[in-house]
A = this chain, B = another copy of it.
């Protein structure tokens, strides 16, 4: 059973130690990580896996407060799977809509780049 210091966990997740502590006190963790006798945090594999899910949710634009709500549901255990599923599906819808929007804007920007490269005639 490996466990990591906060610095190691930070390196592995791409977050800072500051952010890991912030997520913890903000209720984003399933449970607070264990502590060494010294009081220092020790991150388990399970903690790391969970933080990686947080990263996926955050990187796709889910607000902290929604991550906290999702964490709360998972923490509460069995019986609320439908609610978790609804939360994830609503998030997925938003992400897909945003992907489509960004892709559309990107195409327009590409067009503008084409103009500057002299490949396309300027319009409007």
Contact = CB atoms under 8 A, between A and B. Distances in A.
Interface of A: 49, 53, 56-57, 59-61, 81, 84-85, 88-89, 91-92, 95-96, 98-99, 101-103, 105-106, 108-110, 112-113, 116-117, 124
- Tallying the copies of this chain within the complex gives 2
A95 B101 CA distance: 12
A3 B84 CA distance: 49
Most buried by B among A49, A59, A91: A59
Given A96-B106, A106-B96, A116-B84, A59 B91 contact: no
B49 A85 contact: no
A46 to B, nearest CB: 9
